[in-house]
Amino acid sequence: MEGVADIRVPGIVVIALTFAVAMVFGVVTLPDSVPPELGYLRPQWVVLVLIYWVIALPHRVGVIVAWSVGLLVDVLQGDLLGQHAIAFMLVAYISESLYQRLRMYTVWQQSIIVFVIVGLSQLINFWIESIAGVAEWSLWYLMPSVVSALLWPFVFLILRYLRRVFNVT
């Protein structure tokens, strides 16, 4: 990548910033005019970013990073400590074991896998919430995975662009 190589930012900073932005998107307040039910459509931004980094840099971002990010998301959303952490660890583990195959896929094929992975993490969240006694099952729980899968191509392209510009390896 000639021409852009002189931007020197440590890779860890780029990765951390993308996670931070994803978290902001995850909790950004909807305007009052929007019906609150739209909140069910909110994609799992952090999971998308996590999947991307695991596929792109499996030697740097893995289960441990997933766990730390998950803890932060738990605190951010006021969930039980460890709930998102365990879901994200599963996400990272699956993506890490599939990364060679995922890299070969086209973006839309990846979307289907993303749908399944995000769905699984939603399911784990639901299990834990229902054990803690605060959740009731509805199909709305799966909406975030549909929306996430549809948004995956854009997230993928943006993050790949960032990775190349900042030369994160």
> Which residues of this protein are in contact with other proteins, per CB under 8 A?
20, 23-32, 36-37, 39-40, 42, 71-72, 75-78, 80-83, 86, 128, 132, 134-136
Return the sign of the alpha-carbon dihedral for residues 91, 94, 97, 101.
negative
Rounded Cα distance, 49 and 42, in Å: 15
Least distance (Å) between residue 98 CB and other proteins: 26
| CA 135 distance to own-chain centroid | 22
Q: What is the DSSP string of 40-55?
A: GG---HHHHHHHHHHH
Least distance (Å) between residue 156 CB and other proteins: 23
Least distance (Å) between residue 76 CB and other proteins: 5
Least distance (Å) between residue 155 CB and other proteins: 18
Instruction: Quote the Cα angle for 121-123-125, to 5°.
Output: 70
Nearer to other proteins, 135 or 142 (CB): 135
Nearer to other proteins, 110 or 125 (CB): 125
Nearer to other proteins, 105 or 126 (CB): 126
Helix, strand or coil for residue 115?
helix
Nearer to other proteins, 6 or 37 (CB): 37
Write the CA distances from 98 to 33, 49, 51, 67, 103, integer angstroms: 42, 16, 11, 19, 9
Least distance (Å) between residue 10 CB and other proteins: 19
Nearer to other proteins, 30 or 112 (CB): 30
Write the CA distances from 39 to 1, 8, 129, 151, integer angstroms: 40, 38, 18, 16
